[in-house]
Amino acid sequence: MAARAGVNWGKWAVSGPPLAYLIVFFAAPTLIMALASFRTPGDFGGLAPLVAPDGTLDLNLESYARLAESTAYAEVFLKSVIFAIVTTVACLVLAYPLATLIAQSPRKYRDLLLLLVILPFWSNFLIRIYAWMIILGPNAALARGLNGVLALFGVEPVPLLFSSFAVLVCLVYVHLPFMVLPLYANLEKHDRALLDAAQDLGANAWQRFWRITFPLSLPGVYAGAALVFIPALGIFAIPDILGGPNDTLIGNLIKQQFLETRDWPFGSVLSIVLTVAALALAGLAAWIGRRGSAGAARA
């Protein structure tokens, strides 16, 4: 049917509520945060008045300048980005075969297998992290077994709990379903006839995967990578609970500003830098992805 002239009320009725929701709960808080980053912390928490007693607006770049005061902030940022990248790659490597298996399994089992993937969400996030404390503890079977093997080679026992290893294991564990689900949604739609045709034309298993399945699955890979990378970049609970003395990430730093240090402006600055970094990295990945697929099309 042709579009009627004038306002399309139906369209607005459908898109209005979610749009209003995003404006109220996403855009407005982001703007408040952006404004707070230029303000001054209050003496006893909160923010100093926006309008100073002499009537001038109290806005400044002091909190931004603080980023340059110490290289520690950049180091923590870099560490967080590295952790998030390692988590994303590990999730991809683990999730790809799993999603393929589910997508290729008989239709009647698929829902059950998917249910098993999302089963961990039925218990609280924090409880699942606490469970890892027990699994990784020095008196648990895992650490004792590993250190028993290391001892055979004369290696000093290594602690598993309170280490970067513990943080990474748990980051991967928590985010794995976010990679499996979009990959599955993509892989399930692949047309098997394409693979059969490739086989008829002489492509071996690796060529069929690398030239057909993988390029077709790239939208799922990008979606999964974004769903894993972005939350992994800002997380603070996992390093708080499982991390060792060197495992402070940017999320912990931001939390500190809002609670312990009561420095909302600097906390806002760090959050904004984090958001911009996440957007920039996502943009970069998309750009590389587009170039990659354009290259593949030419080849």
Partner 1 sequence: MKPRILARALTAGLVAFAAARPAAAADKLHLYNWNNYIAPETIKRFEAECKCEVVQTYYSDNEELLAKLAAGAKGYDVMVPTGGTVEALIKGGQLQPLDLAKLPNLKNVDRVYLNTRWDPGNKYSVPYAMSTTILGYNDQKMKELGLPTDTWAVIFDPKYLEKVKGRVTVLDSQSELFAAALKYLGYSVNDVDEKHWRQAADLIKKAKPYWAAFNASSYIKELTVGNIWLAHGYSNDIFQADQDAQAAGRKFRILQGMPKEGAVLAVDNMVIHKNAPRPDLAHKFINFMLDGRNSAELTNLIGSGNPNLDASKYIKPELKALPAVFPPKEVAATLEQLGELTPAQRRLRNKLWTEIKAAR
Contacts with partner 1 by CB under 8 A lie at 40-46, 66, 69-73, 75-76, 79, 124, 126-127, 130, 133, 137-139, 159, 161-162, 237, 240-241, 243-246, 248, 252-253, 256-263, 266
Q: How far is the CB of 233 from partner 1 (least distance, A)?
A: 17
Q: How far is the CB of 44 from partner 1 (least distance, A)?
A: 4
User: Whose structure tokens read 């060197």?
Assistant: 246
Rank residues 68 and 299 by Cβ distance to partner 1 and give the closer one: 68
Q: How far is the CB of 126 from partner 1 (least distance, A)?
A: 6
Contact 175, 228 (CB under 8 A): yes
Rank residues 79 and 211 by Cβ distance to partner 1 and give the closer one: 79
Rank residues 102 and 160 by Cβ distance to partner 1 and give the closer one: 160
Measured CA to CA, the distance from residue 113 to residue 278 in angstroms comes to 32
Rank residues 46 and 292 by Cβ distance to partner 1 and give the closer one: 46
User: Whose structure tokens read 């008045």?
Assistant: 49
Rank residues 261 and 275 by Cβ distance to partner 1 and give the closer one: 261
Contact 185, 219 (CB under 8 A): no
Measured CA to CA, the distance from residue 146 to residue 148 in angstroms comes to 5
Q: How far is the CB of 66 from partner 1 (least distance, A)?
A: 7
23: its two tokens: 């404006």
Nearest CA to 159 out of 174, 173, 142, 176 is that of: 142
Rank residues 73 and 83 by Cβ distance to partner 1 and give the closer one: 73
Q: How far is the CB of 155 from partner 1 (least distance, A)?
A: 15
Q: How far is the CB of 279 from partner 1 (least distance, A)?
A: 24
Q: How far is the CB of 136 from partner 1 (least distance, A)?
A: 10
Rank residues 20 and 31 by Cβ distance to partner 1 and give the closer one: 31
Rank residues 42 and 120 by Cβ distance to partner 1 and give the closer one: 42
Q: How far is the CB of 118 from partner 1 (least distance, A)?
A: 22
